A and B are shown apart, each in its own frame.
Chain A
């Protein structure tokens, strides 16, 4: 199971890298979304995909899934939500002000300060 997850996460990272290297801002933001998906799945996988039951004490079970990675993921998810929404609004503002969504046209050169 972990091997399968590792391959899937690898594919997610691959797609994220490809998208983040493209010109359009929206593709880059989609890339960051995929990247954080990959990172979150990686925490889950690296914590081990074992255990009989969900981490709830009311369920009588011999073993539980590791609760720590789940808490870490929950934290990381809300943080990346916050950053992504900020980034989306910033991209919108940038589009309004600069009139382009092409990163190539956003160079900082001597004439373009």
Chain B
């Protein structure tokens, strides 16, 4: 039984570790801000959720105390991690950070230009 508990904790924690390492590799190797935001927000959020799940299981199964703050932290990270990634990607696009030079399609650019033109006409 002890071995089962320990292996469950080690399994969840090492899945989280793999995701954190993937985040580090992605942040170093990917070419532009948007793909780096993609790597950082998703895999870092999943990694920290798995590691906190491992910590929660450790305190629950071995120390025999159920820690609600950890569950609250997991839920909060699950909500705010992708939102943070979205917000910073949007700020990067609107402040004019260029995309990667090999990217093929930019859907938001013509739409923004059109909207800016309509706004200017409504002022005049």
Q: Do A and B bind each other?
A: no
